[in-house]
């Protein structure tokens, strides 16, 4: 169940969802909750002139998953009277939105809310910019580092929230580093002190060791009971500096998020840095140079509340007849048309780290799938989309994701919101193939050259590597080191975060090839540390590596959709495992089928599928000629639904099974 106003809003749309004829007619959930203003919400009006720079505070809450970010955000909204406690209901969160977010307990899409807070006789405008957290249950949080980084660019401060029972986790450190890099004022907050297992003193000391902050600055709270939360509000006002920027300067607004509304087009979230933005203003984008007219603007309070203007330092939404999501570039600078300004300094664009082919289970559904992907990317701009086709799977799309969690979330959203059943090929990272005269980035195994073939003129192959950090109770340190070494770790190092014997925590850092962590690394990390380890990684460039392309042959014919890029040291193991799996999954044919794994011309592994003919007429004794014919015809029909790979018939579902099990193998 959702809180009052969100539930009412959801009900309106669920009715619409049910009446929508096709899944792709349905509005994406982000849009539904973001852009509509049902009458159940009380009309609010806010005069933006009341809030000059010195009474504005722009901040984020940064935390590891489940440390209580959404609970604290709700408490702040309640304490400032932005939402009504009774209407919201108890223990229900206001800012989390998507179904996948509720199911996985993670925040995927950032949300922003403005609060008005009276303090020491003055009214302050507090803008909370919600950053998505990761799910350490699934894989590294780096998937959403891009979202976090863009949210933080609109802030001057951040609440660093740590669970007093769990202590500092890997993601707390990585987000902290991003915040510090951006020069944000950090307010350390220790949450869940109401729990009997809380160890506030020990964890505060841990925060000192991990972040180098003064433990006396740590505010102890319980976001659940509200204890100490007023001290957080005080610290936001007192410790976070106000934004800079002059109202008289030419307009400069920083675009940090966008969503899509089917009626109004793109809705952008902006942070006005300089000048004043009004309804009716003609604005232009520094990036695309396109011009627009502002048709609507206001603040998220927490729903949309229209205002007459947005002044320096303020954060709000604008609608300006932007038709395509691709026009709203995250990190773009908007200015008054005809009055160009210097764009905001370089913003890291989203970089795809993991690629996979996405195909419909029924190849006739490609058009529908492509449409669904298009719609979904309107709300998730960080996904790269290209068309591709495979002889085995037909027409499909090659998608680039920020990480495997991102890929998983995208697949789940495709299934939840668009009823799309898809086959996703094994994830591949982008490799660099260095030829004598050029460097080519390859993210599709079918395009990877046969490096053993001298005519290819490949000088070397480079693979992406990451700097990984694992925080774990000391008793699991050895186990974690072994895990890292078995995944080709280098430069392994560790230090202790506190000195409380074996129950204390250690942080282990190393470099790992990205390809090693996109499959089973995370599951192993969790199971080998009894769920206690937290893991994070960041991009660390490229490094030469001995990689080869492995292909699989059925009856001597290669199956393109199954090609893999593997490290030479693992080729035997991987080849054997996949051939065994294929042997289990591929249905028997009318003839014997050799299943082989090959690297270049070398056959690495082989299994043989024995011949079999489904005798559909067995049991039909005597002269039932017509019935026999009917059964044989049925058999012929079902064969038409099979994919023909060379001479071998494969049902599309077999690929689904192979690739699904391939992921966890
Ligand atoms: N006892 C207690 N429980 C809390 C407190 N704060 C949060 N919780 C509980 O901790 C769980 C996680 O809280 P959330 O607010 O959803 O955590 P989150 O950090 O927003 O999680 P993400 O959305 O994934 O970032 C929920 O069950 C909360 O009720 C607290 O101060 N005390």
Among 158, 288, 291, smallest CA distance to 232 is for: 158
Calculate mean pLDDT across residues 93-115: 58
Decide: helix, strand or coil at residue 82.
coil
Q: Which of 240-249, 547-556, 631-640 has the lowest mean pLDDT?
A: 631-640
Calculate mean pLDDT across residues 56-74: 89
Residues 590 and 592: their CA atoms lie apart, in Å, by 7
Q: Whose CA is nearest to atom 21 of ligand 1?
A: 66
Asked if omega into 457 is within 30° of 0 (cis), the reply is no
| Contact of 662 with 426, CB cutoff 8 Å | yes
Q: How many angstroms separate the alpha carbon of residue 71 from the centre of ligand 1?
A: 5
Q: Is the pLDDT of residue 379 over 60?
A: yes
Q: How many angstroms separate the alpha carbon of residue 110 from the centre of ligand 1?
A: 17
Q: Whose CA is nearest to atom 2 of ligand 1?
A: 192
Q: Is the pLDDT of residue 94 over 70?
A: no
Q: How many angstroms separate the alpha carbon of residue 66 from the centre of ligand 1?
A: 5
Query: Helices in 391-433 by DSSP H: which ranges?
Result: 404-418
Most confident segment among 281-290, 498-507, 583-592: 281-290
Give 304's DSSP letter.
E
Residues 67 and 203: their CA atoms lie apart, in Å, by 13
Count CA within 13 A, CB hemisphere, residue 86.
Answer: 0
Q: What is the pLDDT of residue 214?
A: 87
Residues 617 and 664: their CA atoms lie apart, in Å, by 39
Ligand 1 touching residue 152 (CB < 6 A): no
**β-strand 122-130 against 112-119: which pairing, if any?**
antiparallel
Among the atoms of ligand 1, which is closest to the Cα of residue 161? Answer: 19
Two tokens, residue 169: 């986790």
Q: Whose CA is nearest to atom 32 of ligand 1?
A: 192
Decide: helix, strand or coil at residue 169.
coil
Among 589, 587, 610, 603, smallest CA distance to 658 is for: 587
Q: What is the pLDDT of residues 506-556, one digit of tens each?
A: 889 999 999 988 877 887 888 888 878 888 888 889 999 999 999 999 888
| For ligand 1, mutation pick of 1, 63, 70, 71 (most atoms within 8 Å of CB) | 71
Q: What is the pLDDT of residue 20?
A: 38
Q: How many angstroms separate the alpha carbon of residue 191 from the centre of ligand 1?
A: 9
pLDDT category at 14 given cuts 50, 70, 90 is very low
Decide: helix, strand or coil at residue 583.
helix
Q: How many angstroms separate the alpha carbon of residue 92 from the centre of ligand 1?
A: 10
| Contact of 139 with 403, CB cutoff 8 Å | yes
Report which of residues 661 and 194 the model is more confident about.
194
| Contact of 198 with 164, CB cutoff 8 Å | yes
pLDDT category at 195 given cuts 50, 70, 90 is very high
Ligand 1 touching residue 163 (CB < 6 A): no
Task: State whether ipTM is beyond 0.85.
Answer: yes
Q: Diameter of the chain by CA atoms?
A: 99
Ligand 1 touching residue 302 (CB < 6 A): no
Q: Is the pLDDT of residue 611 over 80?
A: no
Q: Is the pLDDT of residue 132 over 80?
A: no
Residue 212 has phi, psi (to 5 degrees) of: 70, 30
Ligand 1 touching residue 107 (CB < 6 A): yes
Ligand 1 touching residue 68 (CB < 6 A): yes
Report which of residues 636 and 511 the model is more confident about.
511
Calculate mean pLDDT across residues 95-121: 66
Calculate mean pLDDT across residues 82-106: 54
Q: What is the pLDDT of residue 136?
A: 31
Residues 136 and 146: their CA atoms lie apart, in Å, by 17
Ligand 1 touching residue 194 (CB < 6 A): yes
Cross-strand bridge partners of residue 336: 283
Q: Is the pLDDT of residue 264 over 80?
A: yes
- Cβ atoms within 10 A of the Cβ of 317, count? 25
**Mean pLDDT of all residues belonging to the chain:** 79
Q: Which of 111-125, 327-341, 401-415, 437-451 has the lowest mean pLDDT?
A: 401-415
Q: Is the pLDDT of residue 69 over 70?
A: yes
Q: What is the pLDDT of residue 535?
A: 83
- Report CA dihedral (554, 559, 561, 566) to the nearest 10 degrees: 80
Query: Any idea which residue has 């902050």 for tokens?
Result: 213
Report which of residues 550 and 104 the model is more confident about.
550
Q: Is the pLDDT of residue 213 over 80?
A: yes
Two tokens, residue 401: 């994701």
Ligand 1 touching residue 407 (CB < 6 A): no
Q: What is the pLDDT of residue 349?
A: 62
Kindly provide the residue ranges of all beta strands, DSSP E only, lying in 485-585, ordered along the sequence: 490-496, 505-513, 534-545, 547-554, 557-558, 564-567
Cross-strand bridge partners of residue 439: 434
Distances (CA, A) of 178 to 29, 31, 146: 29, 28, 10
Q: Which of 101-110, 124-133, 451-460, 524-533 has the lowest mean pLDDT?
A: 101-110
| For ligand 1, mutation pick of 223, 225, 227, 534 (most atoms within 8 Å of CB) | 223
pLDDT category at 429 given cuts 50, 70, 90 is very high
Q: What is the pLDDT of residue 618?
A: 57
Q: What is the pLDDT of residue 117?
A: 95
Q: Whose CA is nearest to atom 7 of ligand 1?
A: 68
Two tokens, residue 266: 């793109």
Q: Is the pLDDT of residue 92 over 70?
A: no
Residues 584 and 593: their CA atoms lie apart, in Å, by 13
Q: Is the pLDDT of residue 114 over 80?
A: yes
Buried b / exposed e over 138-161, threshold 16 CB at 10 Å, is bbbbbbbbbbbbbbbbbbbbbbbb
Among 228, 204, 180, 207, smallest CA distance to 60 is for: 180
Calculate mean pLDDT across residues 88-100: 49
Q: What is the pLDDT of residues 266-275, one digit of tens each?
A: 899 999 999 9
Residues 147 and 351: their CA atoms lie apart, in Å, by 11
Residues 439 and 431: their CA atoms lie apart, in Å, by 10
| For ligand 1, mutation pick of 61, 64, 65, 68 (most atoms within 8 Å of CB) | 68
| Binding site feature residues for GTP | 63-70, 191-194
Q: Whose CA is nearest to atom 13 of ligand 1?
A: 68
Q: What is the pLDDT of residues 139-165, one digit of tens each?
A: 334 555 566 667 788 899 999 999 999
Q: What is the pLDDT of residues 275-333, one digit of tens each?
A: 999 999 999 999 888 999 999 999 998 888 999 999 999 999 999 988 877 788 778 89
Give 8's DSSP letter.
H
Ligand 1 touching residue 223 (CB < 6 A): yes
Report which of residues 156 and 421 the model is more confident about.
156
Among the atoms of ligand 1, which is closest to the Cα of residue 101? Answer: 23
Calculate mean pLDDT across residues 200-226: 90
pLDDT category at 483 given cuts 50, 70, 90 is very high
Ligand 1 touching residue 545 (CB < 6 A): no
């Amino acid at each position: 169940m959702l809180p009052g106003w969100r539930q009412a809003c959801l009900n309106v749309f669920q009715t619409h969802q049910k009446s929508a004829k096709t899944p792709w007619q349905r509005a994406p959930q982000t849009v539904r909750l973001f852009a509509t203003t049902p009458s159940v919400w009380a009309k609010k009006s806010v005069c933006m002139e009341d809030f000059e720079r010195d009474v504005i505070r722009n901040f984020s809450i940064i935390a590891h998953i489940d440390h209580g970010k959404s609970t604290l955000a709700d408490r702040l909204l309640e304490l400032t009277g932005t939402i009504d406690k009774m209407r919201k209901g108890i223990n229900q969160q206001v800012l989390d939105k998507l179904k996948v977010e509720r199911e996985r307990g993670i925040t995927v899409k950032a949300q922003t809310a403005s609060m008005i807070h009276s303090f020491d006789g003055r009214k302050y405008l507090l803008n909370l910019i919600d950053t998505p957290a990761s799910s350490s249950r699934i894989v590294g949080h780096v998937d959403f580092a891009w979202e976090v980084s863009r949210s933080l660019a609109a802030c001057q401060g951040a609440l660093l929230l740590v669970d007093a029972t769990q202590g500092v986790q890997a993601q707390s450190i990585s987000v902290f580093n991003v915040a510090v890099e951006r020069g944000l004022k950090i307010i350390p907050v220790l949450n869940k002190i109401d729990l009997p297992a809380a160890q506030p003193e020990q964890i505060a000391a841990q925060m000192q060791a991990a972040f180098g902050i003064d433990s006396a600055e740590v505010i102890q709270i319980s976001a659940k009971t509200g204890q100490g939360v007023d001290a957080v509000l005080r610290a936001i006002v007192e410790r976070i500096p106000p934004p800079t920027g002059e109202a008289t300067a030419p307009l400069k607004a920083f675009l940090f998020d966008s969503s899509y509304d089917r009626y109004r087009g793109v809705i952008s979230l902006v942070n006005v840095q300089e000048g004043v933005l009004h309804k009716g203003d003609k604005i232009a984008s520094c990036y695309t140079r396109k011009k627009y007219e502002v048709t609507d603007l206001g603040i998220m309070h927490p729903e949309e509340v229209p205002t007459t203007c947005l002044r320096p330092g303020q954060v709000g939404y604008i609608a300006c007849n932007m038709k395509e999501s691709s026009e709203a570039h995250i990190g773009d600078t908007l200015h008054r048309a005809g009055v160009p300004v210097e764009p905001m300094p370089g913003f890291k664009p989203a970089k795809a780290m993991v690629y996979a082919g996405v195909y419909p289970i029924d190849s006739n559904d490609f058009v529908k799938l492509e449409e669904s992907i298009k719609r979904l990317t309107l709300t998730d701009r960080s996904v790269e989309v290209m068309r591709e086709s495979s002889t085995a799977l037909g027409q499909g799309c090659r998608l680039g994701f920020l990480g495997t969690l991102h890929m998983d979330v995208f697949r789940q959203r495709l299934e939840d919101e668009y009823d799309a059943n898809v086959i996703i090929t094994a994830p591949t990272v982008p490799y660099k193939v260095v030829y004598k005269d050029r460097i080519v980035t390859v993210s599709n195994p079918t395009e990877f050259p046969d490096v053993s073939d001298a005519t290819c003129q490949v000088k070397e192959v480079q693979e992406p590597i990451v700097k990984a950090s694992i925080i774990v109770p000391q008793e699991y340190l050895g186990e974690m080191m072994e895990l890292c070494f078995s995944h080709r770790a280098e430069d392994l190092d560790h230090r202790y975060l506190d000195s409380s014997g074996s129950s204390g925590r250690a942080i282990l850092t190393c470099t790992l090839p990205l390809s090693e962590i996109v499959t089973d690394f995370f599951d192993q990390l969790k199971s080998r540390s009894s769920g206690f380890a937290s893991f994070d990684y960041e991009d660390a460039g490229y490094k030469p590596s001995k990689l080869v392309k492995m292909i699989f042959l059925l009856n001597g014919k290669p199956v393109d959709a199954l090609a893999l890029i593997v490290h030479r040291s693992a080729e035997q193991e991987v080849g054997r495992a996949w051939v065994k799996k294929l042997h289990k999954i591929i249905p028997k044919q009318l003839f014997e089928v050799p299943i082989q794994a090959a690297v270049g011309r070398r056959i690495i592994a082989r299994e043989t599928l024995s011949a079999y003919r489904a005798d559909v007429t067995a049991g039909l004794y005597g002269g039932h000629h017509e019935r026999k014919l009917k059964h044989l015809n049925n058999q012929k029909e079902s064969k038409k639904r099979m994919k023909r790979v060379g001479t071998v018939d494969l049902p599309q579902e077999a690929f689904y099974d192979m690739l699904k099990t391939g992921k966890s193998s």
